Amino acid sequence: MRYDRIKLLLGDDFSKLGNAKVILLGVGGVGGFCLDCLSRSGVKDITIVDFDTYDETNQNRQLYSELHNGESKVESLTQHYPDIKIIDIRVDEQWVWDFDFDEYDLVLDAIDDTKAKLALAQKCYKKLISSFGSAKRLDASQVKVDDIWKSYGDKFGSKIRYELRKRGFKKKYKVIFSSEEAITKENGSFMGVTATFGLNMCSEAIKKIRG
């Protein structure tokens, strides 16, 4: 059966995955792999939020992008994950403040909008797992998971920490980050790193659901 192997790992905790309610913001190079991992692991109630369409530049790192060039990401992904719920909208700061996250057990942040990330931290830190910058890097072994205040080596993450301090935010939440120094100023991406971010996000989500 489909989930036999993961049931061997999780035992009685496997049922918790089927009962969990997760919202995933962003289904690009990081979020797409997180979605795939969640689905294959037995998480059934997943809502994805994204406004973007697939284009040819996504095809080096984003699942199914070569099959749906020019098409809506969230609409396309329903063909591969028919049970997911979709919200086709850009996640910005105002949307975060307006949206009701109460029904979800976990909020997974795979977006790159700084103000929206700050709003998510302030509003959802108790159930938030957030991804920092996965672009400009090649070494997947330097991808790490820790609480926001122990993250390092990432200018994007540094900016998030600085802005949170300015707002008097002192709470903790988990982030995925890379300690590798950016190797280019351009926004180049390597699937080995972006996928590792997404798979780590899924792994952390499963830990939280179990615990």
Amino acid at 190: F
pLDDT band at 102 (very low <50, low <70, confident <90, very high): very high
Which residues fall within 8 angstroms of residue 21, CB to CB, at 6 or more apart? 45, 47, 103, 104, 105, 106
CATH number, domain of 43, equals 3.40.50.720
pLDDT band (50, 70, 90) for residue 154? confident
58: its two tokens: 């996504």
Q: How far is CA 167 from CA 19, 41, 55, 170, in A?
A: 35, 37, 37, 9
| Model confidence pLDDT, tens digit, residues 46-66 | 999 999 999 999 898 989 999
How many domains are there within the chain? 1
pLDDT of residue 22: 98
Going by pLDDT thresholds of 50, 70 and 90, the confidence category of residue 115 is very high
Using N-to-C axis directions, what is the helix angle for 155-166 and 114-124, rounded to 10°? 50
Split at pLDDT 50, 70, 90, the class of 184 is confident
Nearest residue to 49 via CA among 107, 98, 132, 102: 107
Q: Which domain holds residue 37?
A: 4-210
- Residues 124-136 have pLDDT tens digits of 999 999 999 899 9
Residue partners of 124: CB distance under 8 A and separation at least 6? 101, 107
Please state, for a pLDDT cut of 70, what percent of the chain lies above it: 100
Q: What residue spans of the chain are helical by DSSP H? A: 4-10, 14-19, 31-41, 73-77, 93-98, 114-124, 155-166, 191-210
Confidence tier at 37 by pLDDT (50, 70, 90): very high
